[in-house]
């Protein structure tokens, strides 16, 4: 959805509750009215923490991202536009040999190691993260806060991503302290809630190369393990003896690289797992497999939220331009207050490498998680082509529109002008 009217708290609360908790999968019938009320009040509380002065990092942005992540996770979980689970048809088709929709050349052929990505709680987690991820954003960069020695940088600066950490702290502390009943239901149904939300929100610091490198490396490890599993599952019994595994490794369930060969052929790297194994545990293999699944879940949540956070880049060109202008306005407003660089210098040129080197690889990773691509990459490529041919003239017009008048005032678009 690209055109939004101003959200009313009541309808937005209903939407988020239905879309995230997925009532037809997680039933709390006895407490539904109470939980509806608590969730509505929580959403309303969070909505008031977004700053009206921010042109881009606003409540409208949060709503846009909520819609985006629900669309993206529906492509993984097989939900249709009404929120109905729709994957049984695809599974039946695969069992019968498939058809053009399930086994075309673009299909990623998801296997049963991804079944846990269909957990309806993931829909809640990713939407909750989208809701809070820019709470109380100041409309300036983390780097600027470091230059100013701002309080947030002093509180969180050593760990980096100070505004993301602040938003995360606000969202979770309000939930735990002011809505304990709602929090109790959530944590009982999803014990990994805090960790998954934290990982997803902290990943949205797209200006931090270290953060983004970590997300990319985690994703690469997950894909490598999935490919190894698929290779193992597709190997016939006659081919198995050809694998070069020395007797000692074979006896210990290892392949040549020292990786654990687990259930369903899941090869777990014991060197990159970064976990502490309880040597007294008799279920080391199960523990490693669970670690792999948690790693996949975390990586999926990160990639989905990152893709939705810049979702305007993979939507209609008109939508891309509207949010592009709002971000430009936010940067310009900060610059005019001596809180950042002048965005008018190199704005057109800067969008090209951003789309080519960041957005395109990001949406490619995101679509890799889906049974089949949903057209994000094609949309980005189309927007990139149009920006190269039309973007300079559009940028010049935008800069002219935002020139100060005779009184030194700048007339900005508001969120209502987004349409």
Give the pLDDT confidence score for residue 285 in this predicted structure: 63
Would the pTM count as exceeding 0.75?
Answer: yes
List the alpha helices (DSSP H) in 25-119: 32-47, 59-77, 88-95
Please, is 254 exposed, middle or buried when counting C-beta atoms within 10 Å of its C-beta (0-12, 13-18, 19+)? Answer: middle
**Whole-angstrom Cα distance, residue 179 to residue 38?**
7
Task: Calculate the CA dihedral of residues 17, 18, 20, 26 and round it to 10 degrees.
Answer: 100
What is the radius of gyration, based on Cα positions, of the chain?
Answer: 23
Handedness of CA 118, 121, 126, 130 (dihedral sign): positive
List per-block mean pLDDT (blocks of 10 residues) for the chain, which spans 419 residues.
Answer: 34 44 43 73 92 93 93 79 47 36 41 67 93 97 96 90 97 97 92 96 96 95 80 58 46 47 41 38 64 88 97 96 96 95 96 98 94 94 98 96 74 63
Q: Tell me 372's DSSP state.
A: S
Nearest partner of 2 among 318, 306, 363, judged by Cα: 318
Nearest partner of 176 among 197, 160, 200, 159, judged by Cα: 197
Give the pLDDT confidence score for residue 413 in this predicted structure: 65
DSSP-assigned letters across all residues of 306-370: HHHHTGGGGS-HHHHHHHHHHHHHHHHHHHHTTSS--TTSSHHHHHHHIIIIIIHHHHHHHHHTS
Give the pLDDT confidence score for residue 417 in this predicted structure: 60
Give the pLDDT confidence score for residue 118 in this predicted structure: 83
Q: 36 is written with which tokens?
A: 């509806």
Q: Which residues contact 385 (CB under 8 A, 6 or more apart)?
A: none
Give the pLDDT confidence score for residue 100 in this predicted structure: 37
Residue given tokens 């809630």 in the structure block: 193
């Amino acid at each position: 959805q690209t055109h939004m009217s101003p959200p009313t708290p009541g309808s937005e609360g209903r939407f988020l509750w239905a879309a995230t908790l997925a009532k037809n999968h997680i039933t709390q019938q006895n407490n539904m009215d109470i939980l509806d009320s608590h969730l509505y009040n929580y959403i309303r509380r969070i909505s008031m923490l977004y700053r009206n002065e921010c042109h881009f990092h606003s409540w409208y942005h949060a709503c846009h991202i909520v819609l985006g992540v629900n669309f993206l996770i529906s492509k993984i979980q097989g939900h249709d536009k009404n929120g109905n689970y729709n994957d049984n048809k695809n599974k039946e088709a695969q069992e019968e040999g498939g058809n053009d929709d399930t086994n075309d050349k673009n299909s990623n052929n998801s296997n049963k190691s991804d079944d846990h990505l269909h957990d309806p709680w993931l829909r809640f987690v990713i939407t909750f993260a989208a809701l809070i991820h820019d709470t109380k954003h100041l409309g300036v960069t983390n780097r600027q806060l470091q230059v100013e020695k701002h309080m947030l940088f002093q509180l969180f600066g050593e760990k980096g991503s100070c505004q993301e950490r602040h938003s995360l702290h606000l969202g979770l502390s309000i939930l735990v302290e002011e809505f304990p009943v709602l929090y109790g239901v959530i944590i009982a149904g999803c014990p990994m809630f805090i960790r998954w939300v934290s990982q997803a929100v902290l990943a949205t610091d797209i200006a931090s190369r270290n953060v983004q490198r970590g997300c990319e490396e985690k994703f690469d490890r997950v894909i490598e393990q999935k490919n190894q599993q698929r290779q193992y599952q597709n190997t016939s019994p006659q081919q198995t003896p050809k694998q070069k595994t020395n007797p000692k490794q074979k006896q210990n369930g290892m392949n040549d690289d020292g990786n654990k060969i687990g259930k369903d052929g899941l090869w777990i790297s014991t060197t990159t797992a970064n976990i502490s194994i309880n040597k007294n545990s008799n279920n080391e293999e199960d523990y490693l497999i669970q670690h792999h699944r948690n790693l996949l879940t975390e990586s999926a949540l990160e990639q989905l939220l990152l893709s939705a956070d810049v979702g305007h880049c993979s939507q209609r060109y008109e939508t891309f331009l509207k949010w592009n202008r709002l971000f430009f306005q936010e940067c310009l407003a900060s610059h005019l207050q001596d809180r950042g660089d002048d965005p008018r210098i190199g704005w057109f040129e800067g969008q090209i490498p951003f789309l080519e080197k960041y957005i395109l690889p990001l949406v490619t990773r995101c679509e890799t998680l889906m049974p089949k691509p949903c057209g994000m990459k094609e949309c980005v490529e189309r927007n990139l082509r149009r920006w190269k041919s039309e973007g300079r003239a559009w940028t010049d017009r935008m800069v002219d529109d935002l020139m100060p008048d005779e009184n030194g005032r700048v007339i900005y678009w508001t969120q209502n002008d987004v349409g």
